[in-house]
Chains A and B, each alone.
Chain A
C-alpha cells in the first residue's frame, strides 16, 4: 500500500459520462455515506473535547453555579417565607431551558474559531455534503447539553427536587428542551459564520439572550409582571419551554399549549436558519 499511494496515469483523464455538451455530476451523497461522514466529523469534535477538557467547564459548572445561585439567593424571596424547597421544583425545569440557550451560544463562538482554520478548506474540497460538518457539530453539542442537563437534575435532586409525575414525563421534558436547544444552535452557527471574531459573536448573543432569558417564566412566575411584558413572555419560546417542562415534571398546568408553541418555534427556527447557515458555510472562503 505504501508505494501505491498515487494515481496511475489514465485514472486522471476519465471523461464525464455523456458528451461535453451535457456534463453530469455525481449524484447526491447517499444517506449511509452521509451518516458515516457525520460520524467521522463528530468523532473529531469529541476528540477535541478530550484534548481540551477545560472546554467542558461550562457544561459542568454552569448548572451547579446557577442552581445554587437561584435557589439560595432568590429562591426564598420568590416563593415567600424562605421556602427554597418549593422553588427548586419551580426553577429546575425552567433552567433546563436556560442550559439549552447558553450551550447553543457557545456553539456560535466555537464555530467562529474553528471554521477559520485550514482544515475547513480541506472539508470543503472533499466529496462530502457540506452540511455534515455542521450537523456533526450539533450532534456533539447535543451530547454536551445532555451532560449539562444531567448535572442540573443531579444538583436539583440534592437540593430536594421531586419528580411528581413519572420518569417518562421527565424524559419528555429533557427531550423537548434538547430539541429546542438544537434548533437554537443553528441560529448561533449562522451568527458564528457571519461575524468576524468570537468576541463579536458573544456580544451579539448576549444582547439576544438576556431579554429572552429574563423576560420569561424561567425564574419567576409572570403574574406580577406588567401587561406588556406578559405579552412578550406569552410568545417567548423560553417561557413556553419552561412552562411545558414544569407541567411535565410537576404535573401542574397545561402541557399541550406550551409544548406546541415550543415545537413550533423549534421547527420555525430550524427551517429558516439551518438552510441559511449551510449556505453561508458553503460560500465561505
Chain B
C-alpha cells in the first residue's frame, strides 16, 4: 500500500490520526482497516465512490458510530474514550443539511450557540456574525425550509463553525448541488481554510478534491488504496486531458503528428477522434499545456475551441487499481454495500 505517511518531516502535527479503523455492519465491512492523517491547518480529501465507507469514517470520527477495531484521535482526543472532550472540538456538515428546517437561520445558530455554552448575548452576537459571514443576513428570519439548496448548505457550514472547531468534517458538501451553488460552497470552504481550519473532506469528485484538498486519500470498499499530495496522485493517474477543436476538422491528423514530433504528447500519446472533431492530449504539467497551445498557434492551426478535463473518479480508480470502481462494475453489490 502506497501511503504518504505521517512523516514528521512533512511539518505540522496531525489534527486527525486514524490507525487500523474497522467498522462492520453485519456482514459488510464498511471500514476495513483505514489509516490516515490530517495535518493541522490542511485539507485532506477522502475520495471514493458511493459505499466506499466515507460516511462511515466521518461518523466514527464524530462519535456517531463506535468503531469495532483500531483507534482514532481528533485534536488529540480518543474518539471512543474521550467522546465528550472530542465533541467540543469538531464541526460536522453532512450531505443532508443538519439544521432544523422549521426554524429560521438565526434561531438555528442561536440555539447551537446556547448548546455550546455561550451566554445569551454572546450567542446572539455569534449568530449575527456568522449569518453576515456566510451572506445570509437577509434570510436570517426566514424558516430554513424556504432556503435554496446553496443557502441551506451555507447555513450548515455556519452552524458547524459556531463552536470554532479544531477540526471540521465536510461529508460530501456539494453532492446534489448545481455547479453555481457548488462554487459558492467551495468559496466558503476555501475561505475557512485560508483562516486556518483543519478539514476532512469526503467527496466523489476528483475535481472537488483538486479544488480544495492539499492531500488525498482514495478509499474503496473500506480500504485505503492510494494517498498522497494531490499533484502526485494526479501525475499517477495522468493528470488532465486537453481537448482541442480545430476550425478545420481535416487537420486533426497533422496536428497530432506535429505534437508527436515536438515531443509534447504526454504520457500516453495524443489521440485524434474525427467523429468528435477533437484532438485529445494528456497533460502532465502547466508547462506542457502552454507549449502545446503555443506550438499549434505557431504552426498556424486555427483553433475553434479548447478546454481541459480532469480525470473522472472512474479513471482515477482505473489508473490506481487497474479496476473500475465498484460503481461501474457491480451495481447490485454496491447497493448492498450502500444499504
Q: Which residues of A contact B14 (CB under 8 A)?
A: 13
Shortest beta-carbon distance from B196 to chain A in Å: 5
Q: Is the CB of B165 within 8 A of A44?
A: no
CB distance from B148 to the nearest CB of A (A): 17
| Least Cβ–Cβ distance between A47 and chain B, in angstroms | 5
Contact with A along B137-150 (1 / 0, CB 8 A): 00000010000000
With CB as the reference atom, state the residue of chain A lying closest to B97.
A118
Is there a chain A Cβ closer than 8 Å to B257's Cβ? no
CB atoms of A16 and B78 under 8 A apart: yes
B111 contacts A41, C-beta separation under 8 Å? yes
- CB atoms of B107 and A127 under 8 A apart: no
Scan residues 153-199 of chain B and give those whose CB is less than 8 A from a CB of chain A.
159, 161, 163-167, 192, 195-198
User: Ordered nearest first, which 7 A-B pairs have the shortest CB separation?
Assistant: A12-B166, A40-B114, A118-B98, A122-B98, A118-B96, A6-B197, A25-B82
Residues of A within 8 A of B166 (CB): 7, 11-12, 14
A44 touching B100 by the CB < 8 A rule? Answer: yes
Q: Which of A14, A23, A119 contacts B78 (CB 8 A)?
A: A23
B7 touches A (CB below 8 Å):
no
Is A33 among interface residues, defined by CB-CB distance under 8 A? Answer: yes
**In the assembled complex, A223 has its CB within 8 A of some CB on chain B:** no
Rounded to whole Å, the gap between the CB of A195 and the closest CB of chain B is 19
Q: Which of B100-138 contact A (CB under 8 A)?
A: 100-103, 107, 111-112, 114-117, 125-126, 129-130, 132-133
Interface window among B83-91, B244-252, B300-308: B83-91
CB atoms of A1 and B165 under 8 A apart: no
Contact: B98 with A48, CB < 8 Å? no
Contact of A122 among B15, B40, B92 (CB under 8 A): B92
Q: A128 at the A/B interface (Cβ < 8 Å)?
A: yes
* CB contact between B196 and one of A9, A118, A126 (< 8 Å): that residue: A9
Residues of A within 8 A of B (CB): 1-9, 11-16, 23-27, 29, 33, 36-37, 39-41, 43-44, 47-48, 51-52, 117-119, 121-128, 285
How distant is B209 from chain A, measured CB to nearest CB, in Å?
21
A52 touches B88 (CB 8 A): no
Highest count of chain B CB atoms <10 Å: which of A2, A7, A8, A37: A7
Find out whether the CB atom of B115 lies under 8 angstroms from the CB atom of A37.
yes
Within the complex, what minimum Cβ distance (angstroms) separates B198 from chain A?
6
Tell me which residues across on chain B come within 8 A of A48, comparing CB atoms. 100, 102-103
Q: How far is the CA of A22 from the CA of B89 in the complex (A)?
A: 20
Is B13 in contact with chain A by the CB < 8 A criterion? yes
| Given A23-B78, A44-B100, A44-B111, A9 contacting B41 (CB threshold 8 A) | yes
Min distance, Cβ B64 to any Cβ of chain A, angstroms: 5
The verdict on B77 contacting chain A, using a C-beta distance below 8 Å, is yes
Q: Which of A25, A39, A123 contacts B84 (CB 8 A)?
A: A25
The residue that B164 contacts in the complex, of A2, A5, A13, A47, with Cβ under 8 A, is A5
Asked whether, in the complex, the Cβ of A1 is within 8 Å of the Cβ of B75, the reply is: no
Residues of A within 8 A of B133 (CB): 2, 5
- Chain B residue with Cβ nearest A10: B40
- Cβ A5 vs Cβ B161 within 8 A: yes
Task: Report yes or no: B161 in contact with A125, Cβ–Cβ below 8 A.
Answer: no
The 14 listed contacts between A and B (C-beta, < 8 Å) are: A2-B133, A6-B195, A6-B196, A15-B76, A25-B84, A44-B103, A47-B103, A51-B143, A119-B100, A124-B64, A126-B112, A126-B116, A127-B116, A127-B117
A117 to B85, CA, bound (A): 25
Contact A125 B82 (CB under 8 A): no
Judge whether B62 is part of the interface by a CB distance below 8 angstroms. Answer: yes
**Closest residue of A by beta carbon distance from B128:** A1
A32, closest chain B residue (CB): B117
**Is A7's CB under 8 angstroms from B90's CB?**
no
Residues of A near B198 (CB, < 8 A) are: 7, 12
Assembled-state Cα–Cα distance A47/B13 (Å): 43
**Do the beta carbons of B195 and A125 come within 8 Å of each other?**
no
Chain A residues near B163 (CB, 8 Å)?
126
* B99 located at the interface, meaning its Cβ lies under 8 Å from any Cβ of chain A in the complex: yes
Given A2-B133, A7-B196, A26 contacting B40 (CB threshold 8 A): no
B73: min CB distance to chain A, Å: 9
Q: Is B271 located at the chain interface by the 8 A CB criterion? A: no
A267 to chain B, nearest CB (A): 29
